[in-house]
Structure 1
Amino acid sequence: MTPDVAADLAADALRLVTLIVLVLITPGLLVGVLVSLFQAATQINEQTLSFLPRLLVTLLAIGMAGYWVSDKLMQYTVNIFQRAAQLVG
């Protein structure tokens, strides 16, 4: 395995993980900000009020993007197996 191939594989893996995390975490982050603004405006300091909407939106994002995420992971895995010859010799 040459250093170039290893660097390409690591860069592809980091890019894929970053993309998947952004897709799954961003909706929860936005809902968390909106709930925090609501709590600041109404001075309600209930922890479950901020946790439950973020949880539900994150689960919804996982449900909606699950097929896409699994497709991206499958493409990456197929790419690794196709490049297996370069990895060995």
Structure 2
Amino acid sequence: MRSFCILALLITLKFEMGYGNSVCNLQATFIGWCKMTIRGFTFVASKNACRRISGPCAAQDNFFMDKASCETACKKIILPLKSSSDLYLYLFIYIC
């Protein structure tokens, strides 16, 4: 049982630390100097929302052509608890 509790705690910490180099944590970068303007969406982690942006030529990193693909890739589900760590802590205490 102790091994299970340690494993559950490690998994909880992994989820809390996030994925580090996720494209959703990067800034959208525009490339080129053409007259054409592209429009799309970028994910703003502090707001947990996708916002419309526009810039020249082409974009990379945190840039999506439509809001649906931005939300699918980046938006986190908000739990009714104060944070997801509360849920993991409750489960950990209940199980162990």
Shorter-chain TM-score bucket reads 0.3 to 0.5
Q: Structure 1-normalised TM-score?
A: 0.40
- The structure, 1 or 2, with the larger RCO (C-alpha pairs under 8 Å, 6+ apart) is 1
Task: Identify, as 1 or 2, the structure richer in strand.
Answer: 2
Q: Structure 2-normalised TM-score?
A: 0.38
Q: Which has the larger radius of gyration?
A: 1
Task: Identify, as 1 or 2, the structure richer in helix.
Answer: 1
